[in-house]
Amino acid sequence: MMQRRDFLILGSIFGLSSALKSEVSTPLTHHFTEVKTTIAAVQEHMFPEGTKLPSAKTMLATEFLFETIFHRSYDKDIRSFVIEGAKELQRREKGKFTSMREEEKEKALRAYEESYYGSNWLSRIMILTMEGVFGDPVYGSNIKESGWQALHSFGGQPRPKSRYIAL
C-alpha cells in the first residue's frame, strides 16, 4: 500500500519544509497567498473556458480550494503539500508559469507530470478542483449547479444547508 507521506515528500526539493510546518513564525495562509495565482493558473489550464464542463475561473475553483484545505477536517500534511507543490512548479519554471502562453503551460505541466512528485501534486489539484465543480454549491463552487448540469447528474435531496454538517 502506498504510504501517504511517500508521495508528499519524495522528489520534492523542499520536502515538507520546516518553513511550512512552523505555522507560528509565518502563517500557512501567507504561504498560500504566494502561490495562489500559480494554483489558479493550473486549475484554469485543467478546466479552461469553452469545454463541455464549466471553467475553473467561473466556478471560483481557487477560492474553493483555499477554503477546503484550510478547513480543520482537511489532512494537514496534504495542505502543506498543495502549497509546496505549487512552489516547486514556480521554481521549475523560474517564476514565469502564470505568464506563459497556453502551449507553454501545457509543456511545463506535462514535464512536471513526468516526476513522481509532480504527478501526485497535479492529481491533488485535479481532485480539489473536481470536488468544487461537482460538490454541493453550498461549498461555494459548482455555482448554479453548472457542474451537475453538464453531467445531467444532480446531488440528492435534501441538500446540505451548511458546510461540513455544521449542526
Partner 1 sequence: MKEEVFDVLIVGSGASGGAVAYSLCKAGYKVAVLEKGRLIRRNEFSKDEIAYVRRDIITPSLFEEYHTIEEKREGEWVTTPTYESGWSFWNGNIVGGSSNLMSGMLHRMHPDDFRLKSKYGAIEGANIVDWPISYADLEPYYTKVEALIGISGHFEPHPFEPPRSTNNFTQPPTKENAVVKLLDKSCKKLGIKSLVTPRAILSRDSADRHACYYSNFCGSYGCSSGAKGSAREALIKPALATGNLTLMSNTHVKQLYAGSKDNVDYALVIDTVTGKERKIGARVFVVAAQAHESARLLLNSANKFHPDGLANSSGEVGKNLIFSAGGSGQGELHQGFLKEIGFEELMQTGYFVNRSILDWYFVDHWWDGKFKGGSVEFMFEHQNIISRALKHTQEGEHLLWGNALADKVVECFTKQKSLRFEVFNDWLPHDNCFVSLDPNHKDKYGMPVGKLRIAGHPHDLKVGRYIAQKCEKILEEMGAKNIYSSISAVPPQNLIAGGCRFGKDPHTSVLNTECRAHDVKNLYVADASFMPTGGSVPYTWTIYANALRVADHILQALKTL
Q: Which residues bind partner 1 (CB under 8 A)?
A: 1-5, 45-48, 51-53, 73-76, 110, 113, 119, 122-123, 126-127, 130-131, 134-136, 138-139, 147-148, 150-153, 155-161, 163-165, 167
- Residue 142, all three cell numbers: 459548482
CB of residue 15 to partner 1, shortest distance in Å: 16
Shortest separation between residue 126's beta carbon and partner 1, angstroms? 5
CB of 34 or CB of 75, closer to partner 1: 75
CA 139 to chain centre: 15
Pairwise CA distance, residues 102 & 123, whole Å = 19
Q: Which three cell numbers stand for residue 157?
A: 435531496
- Which residue, 30 or 81, has its beta carbon nearer to partner 1? 81
Of residues 30 and 135, the one with the C-beta less far from partner 1: 135
CA distance 60 to 131: 12
* Type of residue found at 145: E
Alpha carbon of residue 136 to chain centroid = 17
Question: Between 17 and 67, whose beta carbon lies closer to partner 1?
Answer: 67
